């Protein structure tokens, strides 16, 4: 089942280290089949308030997402982002195509 690495970054200091992070992250994703599905696109807020950027990276499953996040390649560039961006990052399972809202009640 598809899994996602999700980041909600509320504060980003667009500096040389963030640029270096962005230039290098794609190479860390490739061995794990990760691909961006959302990367800071403009939000059309309909309820509540929104601030910051949303990033979503899709993986074949949670094992691939974890392996990427824990990989040496990603760990080497992670400080480039964490020194200059604040927010929440997490890994989460997606749902299959047949998922219905009431499935969470089981």
The answer to whether 4 touches 91, Cβ cutoff 8 Å, is: yes
Distance of alpha carbon 34 from alpha carbon 56, whole angstroms: 10
Domain that holds residue 78: 3-95
Summarize pLDDT for 26-80 with one digit per residue, the tens.
999 999 999 999 998 889 999 999 999 999 999 999 999 999 999 999 999 999 9
Distance of alpha carbon 44 from alpha carbon 15, whole angstroms: 27
Q: Does residue 100 lie within any of the structural domains?
A: no
Which pLDDT score, from 0 to 100, does residue 5 have? Answer: 98
Which pLDDT score, from 0 to 100, does residue 4 have? Answer: 98
Q: Is 40 helix (H, G, I), strand (E, B) or coil?
A: coil
Residue 106 has pLDDT above 90, yes or no: no
Predicted structure pTM score? 0.92
Domain of 49, CATH number, reads: 3.30.70.100
Q: Residue 83: which of 18, 35, 29 has the closest Cα?
A: 18
Q: Does residue 67 lie within any of the structural domains?
A: yes
Q: Does residue 84 lie within any of the structural domains?
A: yes
Q: Does residue 101 lie within any of the structural domains?
A: no
Which pLDDT score, from 0 to 100, does residue 78 have? Answer: 98
């Amino acid at each position: 089942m598809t899994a996602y690495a999700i980041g909600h970054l509320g504060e980003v200091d667009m500096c040389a280290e963030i640029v270096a992070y962005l230039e290098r992250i794609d190479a860390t994703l490739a061995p794990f089949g990760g691909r961006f599905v959302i990367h800071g696109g403009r939000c059309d807020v309909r309820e509540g308030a929104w601030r910051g950027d949303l990033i979503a990276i899709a993986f074949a499953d949670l094992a691939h997402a974890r392996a990427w996040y824990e990989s040496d390649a990603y760990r080497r560039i992670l400080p480039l982002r964490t020194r200059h961006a604040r927010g929440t990052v997490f890994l989460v399972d997606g749902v299959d195509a047949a998922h219905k809202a009431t499935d969470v009640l089981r």
